[in-house]
Amino acid sequence: MDKQLAPSWHQGEVTMQQRAGTDKRMADIGPKFIRQYLPQQHRDFFESLSMIFIGYAIQPLHTNAAVLFGAPGFVQSITDTELVINTQYSMGDVINDHLNVGDRIGLLGIVFETKRRNRINGVITDINQKSIRVKVLQSYGNCPKYIQPKAFIPNRNYGEFSRSTRSQLSQTDKQLITNADTFFIGSCFDDGQQLNNRGADISHRGGPAGFVSINPQGQLLINDYAGNGFFNTLGNLLENPIASLLFCDWQQGHALHITVSSQIIWQDVEQAGSAEFVNTTDTLNKDTVTQTERTLCFTPLKVEQLTNGLAYRQANRCENPCYKIASAITQTAHRCG
């Protein structure tokens, strides 16, 4: 193994682990848990997906969060260290013009029905109009904690894209955010060193509807629930506070992408009276609130509404959730000629 590529954690992750008191445990766990290959179980998992979330940099310190769609098999595990991903069907076609050979990307596979998720950090080794080839740099599983189960059917309007951009959240945006039980964070850390623990990342955040609140200044506030102790995302944000948030309007098939500046607020005793983050629990059911040591504060810099950007929408009780995503993909292909 190339020792230059072996370290599990970068300096931001280590700093967060030290502050949280998990650093000694993570120093032991990291080399055992974070692999440079995909075990067969993970290879099968990624090939079964109908969507995969991706974090990628469009500037050195600016990461986008997006999602790719396809029929099962659109992600192929050609070896235990390589994936080929069909990128033809993405969230509002936002992917195609931004990916390049050599880019570090983060990938997240998640199945909401079974609450299973696995992550990959990798590098693009080849690209064409239809697909990218990704070499695995870091591969690991995530626990099912905080994943809110959902069933999906095709968004039959997928492909009829429109995009609007604004500098502030609208009232409709705020309603989507404060009613959400899921969102995704794209973040990155890259100091130019060619180590496995550098590059872009994408992570899932979930909780009871209302776990994201918005203060009077228009900032998003999220209690950071206890997780695996890796601090991949927070370690990135500590080094590079510019990130992106993806909120999916699964009811309508739209997406909201927000470029943000981030702050990590530690819940020290002397801070307990600050209304800015005490409010993060005010709107939640007190029986479901998990006590946290940290609050994430996100200040919006740019807001993009992607109408009909999602090939899926959430199934209602009266709808059959057994349709395959291929239906929406096929319809889009026909409309596009």
The pLDDT tens digits of the residues spanning 113-170 come to 888 889 999 999 999 989 999 999 989 887 667 788 888 999 999 989 999 999 999 9
Greater model confidence, 27 or 135: 135
User: Residue 16 class from Cβ within 10 Å (0-12 exposed, 13-18 middle, 19+ buried)?
Assistant: buried
Q: Estimate to the nearest angstrom the gap between the alpha carbon of 107 and the chain centroid.
A: 8
Q: What three-state secondary structure class fits 228? A: coil
pTM: 0.84
Greater model confidence, 59 or 175: 175
Of 46, 54, 70, the C-alpha closest to 328 is 70
Each residue's pLDDT tens digit, 285-301: 333 334 458 899 999 99
Task: Report the C-alpha dihedral over residues 319, 322, 325, 328, rounded to 10 degrees.
Answer: -40
132-to-16, 183, 190, 333 alpha-carbon distances in Å: 33, 25, 21, 19
Greater model confidence, 100 or 233: 100
Task: Count CA atoms within 13 Å of residue 20 on its CB side.
Answer: 25
pLDDT band at 58 (very low <50, low <70, confident <90, very high): confident
% residues pLDDT > 90 (the chain): 51
- DSSP codes of every residue in 143-159: --TTPPP--EEE-TTTT
Greater model confidence, 265 or 27: 265
Each residue's pLDDT tens digit, 70-99: 999 999 999 999 999 999 999 876 676 788
Statement: residue 59 has pLDDT above 80: no
Segment 102-114 mean pLDDT: 93
Output the pLDDT for position 251. Answer: 93
Output the pLDDT for position 275. Answer: 34
Each residue's pLDDT tens digit, 192-230: 777 777 788 999 898 899 999 999 999 999 987 766 667
Output the pLDDT for position 61. Answer: 75
Greater model confidence, 250 or 327: 250
Statement: residue 6 has pLDDT above 60: no
Amino acid at 180: A
Q: Which two tokens stand for residue 114?
A: 């079974």
